[in-house]
Amino acid sequence: MGDFVRIALALAAKDLRVEFRTRSTLLAAGIFAALVLVVFNFSRDPTAVPDAVIGPTALWVAVAFAAVVALNRGFTLERAHGAMDALRLAPAPRGALFLGKMGANLVFVLLVEGIAAPLAVLFFDLPLATAGWGLPLLLLLASVGLVAVGTLLSAMAVRTRFAELMLPVLLLPFLVPPLTAAAGASVRLFGGRPLSEVVGWLRFLAVYDLVFVTLGLLLFSAVIDE
Amino acid sequence: MPSSDAPLLEARGIARRYGRAAVLAGVDLTLGAGECLLVVGPNGTGKSTLLRILAGLARPDAGTVTLDGRPVAESRGRLGYLAHDTFLYDDLTVAENLTFAMRLQGCEVAGALDAVLARAELLSHRDRLVRHLSRGLAQRTALARALLHSPALVLLDEPYTGLDAASSTALTAFLLELRGAGVGVILVGHRPEEGWDAVTRVAVLARGGWVLEGSRPATVPEFEARAREVLVG
């Protein structure tokens, strides 16, 4: 177990070190998320759809696209100079490699949310105090699910010829459940609904996370090894 | 079929096709501890493919590969592999790349990193980003990466590429050290004179299999003459 965690941490730390040194993908994803929110902000009709509905929806659209950018980056990094082969040659448990990649992707997505969420609150005048502690929990649960399934699928997609195209195509059906839950729950949270109305969504996300993290740990070997 | 009395590595009936082309058609290979096999052959004859299969990175269409009697997939960590790609991250330093590799291999980093850097004569370059290294220095770093976990079997695909004369001499000396320590080495190259002093057996791969194999001839010209005969014939 010690080696498992050490390897996962080493892999996540390596990915994050590369990203923070270049900041290229973080900036691109952050700018993209901000652009999505700006477009939603200027195109909305507040008389037709309340801000408390369009704001959270726009936030999750921005997060979804930013997550795809992050996930593409994760394994593109390994494709350069054949580093993926180096990971495959290592006597490391494949679950540890999955966890390491997932961990780095999760930090990345949470950082993008750290950029996007305040912008959403600002543009759409969302009542942050009303959402309470349910919002950070929701952000975390939804992000874990996005990243878990995305890490597994991006490992598959990176071995194809059109990896950058394949990942969104593979990922989209799997993103619908967590995004639907996240958007639905956050609309209710910002709408001042009681926490009891969103507990069901939170439970759904927790189960989704458990399923896909487990699948990732079990299936990563089949995905990356020939 | 290259053979040895006490096989460290044993490959039987290795076959691999790319589309309709049979690149490898039933290749057998055994390598003993302390042996160094030089594999040469024309471009496109499957030398790199063979190495990838021996490393467990590619699955053959037929055949098996074992390292000390166990399937190679269960022997990760006991082999070192240097490919055409360097396996290095451009935006990490030399030291960071090697540290990461050591952690992946389960090696102790503290105290050992400097020894790895010193052995590869990379101490003065430890804090340079890989993207700023010359081809030769990147190759030395990649080689250090392949060998830092003291593997039992080393697979080297054109390791002399980009190395200057001093580094080439140092590499050959290191291969001799490895052989002395009982490490098996398979060296793929285009120029037999590179690493010749460390080689114990030679083989030419062409037309899907071995067209020439045996103990190392006395001189490079003798080997090249025999290789030309079999390749042209």
Q: What is the mean pLDDT of chain A?
A: 90
CA distance A61 to A45: 18
Q: What is the pLDDT of residues B111-120, one digit of tens each?
A: 899 999 998 8
Q: Beta-carbon neighbour count of residue B219 at 10 Å? A: 12
At residue B5, does pLDDT exceed 70? no
Question: What is the pairing mode between strands B62-67 and B70-71?
Answer: antiparallel
Distances (CA, A) of A133 to A117, A130, A139, B161: 14, 9, 10, 58
| Dmax (CA) of chain A | 59
A90 to chain B: which residues are within 8 Å by CB? 76-77, 104-105
> In A, what residues contact B, Cβ < 8 A?
3, 6-7, 10-11, 14, 17-18, 21-22, 77, 80-83, 85-92, 225-226
For A132-183, the pLDDT digits (tens) are 888 899 999 999 999 999 999 988 888 777 777 888 888 889 999 999 999 9
Judge whether residue B32 has pLDDT over 70: yes
Q: A156: domain range? A: 2-224
Distances (CA, A) of A58 to A29, A63, A64, A122, B78: 15, 9, 10, 12, 51
For residues B192 and B202, the answer to whether their CB atoms sit within 8 Å is yes
Report the number of secondary-structure helices (H) and strands (E) in chain B: 6, 10
Chain A CB within 8 Å of residue B16 CB: no
Check CB contact under 8 Å for B77 and A90: yes
CA A187, CA A179: separation in Å to the nearest integer? 12
**C-beta neighbour count of A125 within 10 angstroms:** 12
ipTM comes to 0.89
Inter-chain CB proximity B104 and A83 less than 8 Å: no
Structure tokens at A68: 């795809």
Q: Is the dihedral of CA A112, A117, A120, A122 positive or negative?
A: negative
Strands B70-71 and B21-32, by their bridges, are: unpaired
Q: Provide the number of structural domains found in chain A.
A: 1
Domain ranges within chain B, ordered by starting residue: 9-88+135-232
- Number of Cβ pairs < 8 A linking chain A and chain B: 71
Whole-number average pLDDT of chain B = 91
Q: How far apart are CA A133 and CA A110, in angstroms?
A: 16
B212 Cβ neighbours under 8 A, 6+ residues apart: B202, B203, B204, B226, B227, B230
- The arrangement of secondary structure in B9-88+135-232, i.e. its CATH architecture, is 3-Layer(aba) Sandwich (3.40)
Residue B203 confidence class, pLDDT cut points 50, 70, 90 = very high
Strands ordered across the beta sheet of B70-71: B21-32, B7-18, B62-67, B70-71
Using CA atoms, how far apart are residues A37 and A156, in angstroms rounded to an integer?
Answer: 30
- Residues in chain B, overall count: 233
Q: What is the pLDDT of residue A43?
A: 87
